[in-house]
């Protein structure tokens, strides 16, 4: 009997160490072939657009997936190095049956991944991913029955420049305000934004200086980008009066974090508050509703409520935020990590470049600084601990962990929150605690983390 739990697809596609299963030369070819089978069943003339980030493994994985697709008759077009939302845009705007992205987003350069958008620009539902996954496993059981074609598509790099330009042109159409006075320091994370961000900011006449914009295949996210927002924040603080804000993208630029002019890091919660109030004031925030996640700070919920805006919480992962937005009719949603989804336009996924433009637009239109716009966001002290685990056993099946969580929640008594979950992409347990006092927050987080380490933790080597 086939398990109904996905084994390859996580919250953001298939991810792992490049060169190891499921990202070997054989398996990536068969993944492309399985996806191709899925597409040609409903469209014999299926075309796919494929894009990638700057990791040294991205090109060969893109080539292998492309070969698998063409082996079953799918026509493959490569956009080369492009952001994840760039591929989603191209899929929906140019009649492609699907868009495929080769990226591991914020992970180290040794990792990589494959994520798939359907022809409407949305990530595949879990049930569809499960069906493709079952076909992948069936192919893996008998790979010699699926010989590789003698000739595949053209190499995925450099790709078609016209496709990348089309995405940038669409982004510029989202700008309705003169941004030429905005002075921005931009951290490209040595990732996909390195290609698109300079062209976009020039097109919008934004005064921009770029950091971490020299990818070498191994420096993506290394001490820079959205995993390290203090990098751009410190650089802004070191040059007082020179920049209005800093912006930092992750490796595939589907999210963005910011720094105000004083060098304070501004996360996705603050961006949601800024955008929600602006959209509410313009009468375009449908249902006066915003979708955030279980990780968003209680302070955001309180600030939104004061502005007459309701906040719903979805599971972590931008695809789950989007699903809740579609259910509730909300047009704004996002994550603390900087994935922001604007559905008052044509966007179908988080887009760091679009988010940056929207923040700049609000600042330029109102004449207010970033710090001023979010000044009343009172953030509850929050900590997140990551614990490496041997296996992802459901927490409900481990009494010691359940007891530690219940004890923390009882002590908080409604004046804080506890969220314990597994990462969707790594062998990590994440413990998030919010409390009114930092000391209590740290103590409760340590208590739960210790219970997880004792029951499921990876033994420390000497």
CATH class assigned to 382-456: alpha beta
Q: What is the pLDDT of residues 301-354, one digit of tens each?
A: 989 999 999 999 999 888 889 999 999 999 999 999 999 999 998 899 999 999
Annotated catalytic residue 105: yes
Rounded to 5 degrees, what angle do the CA atoms 265, 270, 276 make? 155
57-107 pLDDT, tens digit per residue, is: 999 999 999 999 999 999 999 999 999 999 999 999 999 999 999 999 999
* CATH-assigned architecture of domain 174-373: 3-Layer(aba) Sandwich (3.40)
**What is the rounded distance in angstroms from the CA atom of residue 99 to the CA atom of residue 90?**
8
CATH number of 9-162: 3.40.120.10
Helix axes 298-306, 268-281, angle to 10 degrees: 10
Kindly list the domain boundaries of the chain, sorted by start residue. Answer: 9-162, 174-373, 382-456
Tokens of 56: 């040294």
Distance (Å, whole) CA 264 – CA 374? 12
Low-confidence ranges of the chain (pLDDT < 50): 1-3, 462
What is the predicted pLDDT for the residue at 394?
93
Q: What one-character-per-residue DSSP string does 286-307 give?
A: GGGEEEEETTS-HHHHHHHHHT
| DSSP character at residue 454 | H
pLDDT of residue 230: 97
From the candidates 27, 103, 105, 364, give the one annotated as an active-site residue.
Answer: 105
Phi, psi angles (nearest 5°) of residue 272: -60, -40
Q: Do the domains at 9-162 and 382-456 have one common CATH topology?
A: no
Q: Pairing between strand 256-259 and 245-249?
A: antiparallel
User: Which of 274, 282, 270, 312 lies closest to 294 in space, CA to CA?
Assistant: 312
Question: Given this model, what pLDDT does residue 4 score?
Answer: 62
């Amino acid at each position: 009997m086939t398990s109904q739990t996905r084994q390859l697809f996580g919250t953001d596609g298939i991810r792992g160490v490049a060169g190891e299963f499921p990202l070997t030369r054989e398996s990536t070819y068969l993944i492309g072939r399985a996806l191709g089978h899925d597409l040609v069943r409903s469209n014999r003339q299926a075309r796919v657009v494929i894009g990638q980030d700057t990791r040294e493994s991205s090109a060969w994985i893109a080539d292998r997936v492309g070969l698998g697709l063409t082996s079953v008759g799918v026509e493959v077009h490569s956009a080369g190095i492009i952001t994840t939302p760039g591929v989603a845009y191209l899929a929906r705007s140019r009649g492609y049956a699907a868009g495929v992205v080769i990226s591991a987003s914020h992970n180290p350069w040794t990792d990589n991944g494959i994520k798939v958008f359907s022809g409407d620009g949305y990530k595949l539902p879990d049930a569809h991913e499960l069906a493709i996954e079952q076909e992948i496993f069936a192919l893996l059981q008998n790979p010699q029955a699926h010989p590789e074609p003698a000739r595949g598509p053209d190499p995925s790099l450099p790709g078609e420049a016209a496709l990348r330009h089309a995405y940038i042109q669409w982004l510029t159409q989202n700008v309705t305000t003169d941004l030429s006075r905005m002075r921005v320091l931009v951290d490209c994370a040595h990732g996909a934004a390195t290609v698109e961000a300079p062209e976009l900011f020039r097109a919008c006449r934004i005064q921009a200086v770029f950091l971490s914009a020299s990818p070498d295949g191994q420096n993506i996210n290394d001490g820079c980008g959205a995993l390290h927002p203090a990098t751009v924040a410190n650089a802004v603080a070191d040059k007082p009066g020179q920049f209005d804000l800093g912006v930092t993208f992750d490796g595939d630029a589907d999210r963005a974090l910011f720094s105000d002019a004083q060098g304070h890091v501004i996360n996705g919660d603050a961006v949601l508050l800024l955008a929600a109030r602006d959209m509410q004031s313009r009468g375009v925030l449908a249902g006066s509703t915003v979708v955030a996640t279980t990780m968003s700070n209680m302070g955001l919920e309180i600030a939104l409520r004061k502005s007459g805006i309701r906040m719903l919480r979805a599971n972590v992962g931008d695809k789950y935020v989007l699903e809740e937005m579609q259910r509730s009719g909300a047009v704004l949603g996002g994550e603390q990590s900087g994935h922001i989804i604007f559905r008052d336009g044509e966007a179908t996924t988080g887009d760091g470049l679009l988010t940056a433009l929207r923040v700049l637009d609000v600042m330029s239109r109102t004449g207010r600084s970033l710090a001023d716009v979010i000044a009343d966001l009172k953030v509850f002290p929050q900590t997140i601990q990551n614990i490496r685990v041997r296996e992802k056993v459901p927490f409900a099946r481990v009494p010691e962990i359940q007891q530690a969580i219940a004890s923390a929640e009882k002590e908080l008594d409604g004046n804080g929150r506890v969220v314990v979950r597994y990462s969707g992409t790594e062998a990590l347990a994440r413990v998030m605690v919010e409390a009114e006092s930092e000391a209590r927050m740290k103590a409760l987080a340590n208590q739960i983390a210790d219970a997880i380490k004792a029951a499921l933790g990876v033994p420390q080597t000497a």
